[in-house]
Amino acid sequence: MKTIALEQKDLTIQELIRLAESETVILSQKGSPAYAILPIDESDVEAWQLGDNPDFLALIERSRARHNQEGGIPLQEVRRRLGLTASG
């Protein structure tokens, strides 16, 4: 991981991206980490989109509340319902 102080460097976006191809680049401002530049893939994009989706977050909250109220299903019961053996 490489840390670059924004106050001390005048790098272009292309230079920052080139640096981030080999390691995560942390950009600091006034001595504190402010931004990170790192490569991402499609699963990262999907995770960001879901984490920023109010409908999805509401679904997760409803699911958690239901689990807290009603409890869950033990793994052994899930396996039985799906006709799976303990080894998979």
Asked if residue 13 is part of any domain, the answer here is yes
Q: How many domains are contained in the chain?
A: 2
Q: How far is CA 79 from the centre of its chain?
A: 29
Q: What pLDDT digit, counting tens, does each position of 41-69 carry?
A: 999 999 999 999 999 999 999 999 999 99
Structure token digits, residue 43:
């699963």
- If asked whether residues 55 and 27 sit together in one domain, one would say no
Can you give the pLDDT at residue 88? 55
pLDDT digits (tens, 9 = 90+) for 6-43: 988 788 999 999 999 999 999 999 999 999 999 999 99
Q: Same domain for 27 and 53?
A: no
Give the span between the Cα atoms of 2 and 22, in whole angstroms. 10
Residue 14 domain flag? yes
Q: Are residues 6 and 32 in the same domain?
A: yes
